[in-house]
Amino acid sequence: MDTSRLLRTFAIGIGAAGLLVSGCSGSPSPGPSGATGAAAPERLSSYYAQKLSWRDCGVEGFACTTMKAPRDYDRPDGGDVELAVSRKKATGPGERIGSLLVNPGGPGGSAIGYLQGYAALGYPAPVRARYDMVAIDPRGVARSEPVECLTGKEMDAYTQVDQTPDDEAEIQKLSGAFEKFAQGCEKRSGEILPYVSTADTARDMDILRSLLGDEKLHYVGASYGTFLGATYADLFPERVGRLVLDGAMDPSLKAVDMNRDQTAGFEGAFQSFAADCVEQPDCPLGTTSTADAAARLKQLFAELDAKPIPAGDDRKLGEPLATTGVIAAMYDEAAWPQLREALTGAQHSDGSGLLSLADSYYERDPSGTYANLMFANAAVNCLDLPPAFDGPAAVKKALPDFEKASPVFGRGFAWAALNCASWPTEPTGAPHRTEAKGADPIVVVGTTRDPATPYTWSQSLAEQLSSGTLLTYDGDGHTAYGRGSDCVDTAINTYLLEGTPPTDGKKCT
């Protein structure tokens, strides 16, 4: 299990675009304040003045292009990064409002993959009618100079390293796996690693906004995408248009606090799953109580730790991948029946169901090839915040708090948070309040039982933003827009189409 500091949003069910456990945030420094190419700061004028050359993507209805941005915003003459962009033009009827940028989360999720696979078809028709739907893969992600770290076989080994170590030998093996991962990133992608922060990507978004001809940025970000959107707002408050931040992060938290909060969030999600499971006749965790269900799941993990089971294609399912499979299903209650079936299979020495869930989480295809999701995730997170722990001793000290937050997942989540301790690039960000003074109204959406971005984070971000408006969804799962609540969808659609935010504190079911 490598769930450390990854946020995931499942827009189309398990395996869709987006991301999981824990995210982090960098402290943005003052950026350019120009709006169009002509008004851009002189040192960035060539980037704001470039012309986009659109071409057919090979996907019906979509055009693609690339844009350049400075690799290092502090030294804009020090070379470029090339970033991939895709667009589906407004369909009409109705007057075009502008471009609507979308980001599914991560860090590490492909915004273009999300746009082409879901948003441009799944967003409400009135929104698609009046906005050009646009996505840019952030620097280091997917089509935009992707960070690479390990081969497929190396990733297979990495995802199976025990993250609930029982002795010093296992602790050393886990620490070594994190070190090898970091060394692989430095070896294969060292040139770009210092320049993939969230603040860098937010500045890229402003160049794109200008090149698209929009005076203000309209944006829907989910999960980690909320931190990206909030960072943009803090850097360019006068350029904020209609911003929806769904499943919000709290930029004021330290990494260790963020990881511990998420640990409690996933415990809460498991409790919801368990309460539903014990009412089902096919529940593999018993039919008596959530406490019994938790005990049975922990026992299954212990058995898999001692002896992995067959999972098809000559692969084995041990505790790390089994835990990841369970966590993957916590993002969306629609996956609960699939999880019940997978757990039943595991109890009968068939690990294929849980392995399939874990593979979807890691974006591993049947050939053994991984998307760069996990690589970009670590690269951004380890740059955006100082590490949660600087070594095994710090993890050991924090274990009681993590195990209190989640008796089921706490131990594994604490050790997973050690992943940035060996990172080769120094962090450039720090916890900070995000106020975006002077911005137009920004809608922050929080789900009360969200596992990956706890509801308190949305409350905190809405309070920090000078123009923040909190919309609450009383429900399960990660994020709220487009997940079945007419109340939530109507409020957000009205804001996107008319510019009228919901009343602060509005609650939906």
Q: Which two tokens stand for residue 407?
A: 């008796």
Summarised one tens digit per residue, pLDDT across range 464-505 is 999 999 999 999 999 999 999 999 999 999 999 999 999 999
- Per-residue pLDDT, averaged over 248-272, amounts to 97
- Does the pLDDT of residue 294 top 60, yes or no? yes
Helix (H, G, I), strand (E, B) or coil at 191: coil
Give the pLDDT confidence score for residue 390 in this predicted structure. Answer: 96
Question: Six-digit token pair at 279?
Answer: 């009412």
β-sheet bridge partners, residue 144:
141
What was the pLDDT predicted at 13? 31
What burial letters (b/e) apply to 318-337, b meaning 16+ CB within 10 Å?
A: bbbbbbbbbbbbbbbbebbe
Q: Coil, strand, or helix at residue 189?
A: helix
Task: Judge contact between 450 and 477, C-beta under 8 A.
Answer: yes
Question: What integer best gives the mean pLDDT of the chain?
Answer: 92
Q: Is the dihedral of CA 4, 20, 287, 285 positive or negative?
A: negative
Q: What CA–CA distances, in Å, run from 63 to 87, 89, 220, 230, 428?
A: 5, 9, 20, 27, 34
Whether residue 210 is predicted with pLDDT greater than 80 in this model: the reply is yes
Task: Check whether 22 has a pLDDT greater than 80.
Answer: no
State how beta strands 442-449 and 316-317 pair: unpaired
Would you say 344 and 282 are in contact if contact means Cβ atoms under 8 Å apart? yes
Q: Over the stretch 299-327, which tens digit does the pLDDT of each residue have?
A: 999 999 999 999 998 999 999 999 999 99
Render pLDDT for 113-158 as a digit per residue (tens, 0 to 9).
999 999 988 999 999 999 999 999 999 999 999 999 999 999 999 9
Q: What percent of the chain has pLDDT over 70?
A: 92
State yes or no: is 167 an active-site residue.
no
pLDDT above 80: residue 27: no
* SS3 letters across 44-78: HHHHHCCCCCCEECCCCCCEEEEEEEECCCCCCCC
The yes-or-no verdict on residue 35 having pLDDT over 90 is: no
Q: Rounded mean pLDDT of 355-361?
A: 97
pLDDT at residue 15, as a whole number: 29
- At residue 450, the pLDDT reads 95
- From the number of C-beta atoms within 10 Å of its C-beta (0-12, 13-18, 19+), residue 381 rates as buried
Q: What is the structure's pLDDT at 30?
A: 36
Confidence (pLDDT) at 343: 98
**Annotated catalytic residue within 200, 206, 450, 489:** 450
| Global pTM value | 0.93
pLDDT number for residue 10: 36
Average pLDDT over residues 55-62: 94
With bands split at pLDDT 50, 70 and 90, how would you rate the model's confidence at 8?
A: low
Give the whole-angstrom CA distance, residue 123 versus residue 117: 11
Q: Which of 187, 108, 205 lies closest to 150, judged by CA?
A: 187
Lowest pLDDT segment from 16-20, 107-111, 249-253, 390-394: 16-20
User: Catalytic: 223?
Assistant: yes
The predicted pLDDT at position 26 comes to 37
**Of 7-21, 75-89, 161-175, 327-341, the least confident:** 7-21
- The tokens for 464 are 């920090």
Instruction: Identify the weakest region by mean pLDDT among 40-44, 181-185, 378-382, 407-411.
Output: 40-44
Is 197 annotated in the active site? Answer: no
Confidence tier at 12 by pLDDT (50, 70, 90): very low
The residue annotated as part of the active site, out of 206, 218, 478, 489, is: 478
3 pLDDT more than 70: no
The phi and psi torsions of 352 (rounded to 5 degrees) equal: -65, -35
Catalytic residue of the set 223, 272, 360, 422: 223
| Segments making up each domain of the chain, as ranges | 152-191+255-416
Confidence of residue 5 (pLDDT cuts 50, 70, 90): very low
Planar angle of CA 97, 238, 216, nearest 5 degrees? 20
Parallel, antiparallel, or unpaired: how do β-strands 468-476 and 240-246 relate?
unpaired
Band of residue 7 on the pLDDT scale cut at 50, 70, 90? low
Q: What is the mean pLDDT of residues 387-399?
A: 98
Report the percent of the chain where pLDDT is more than 90: 91
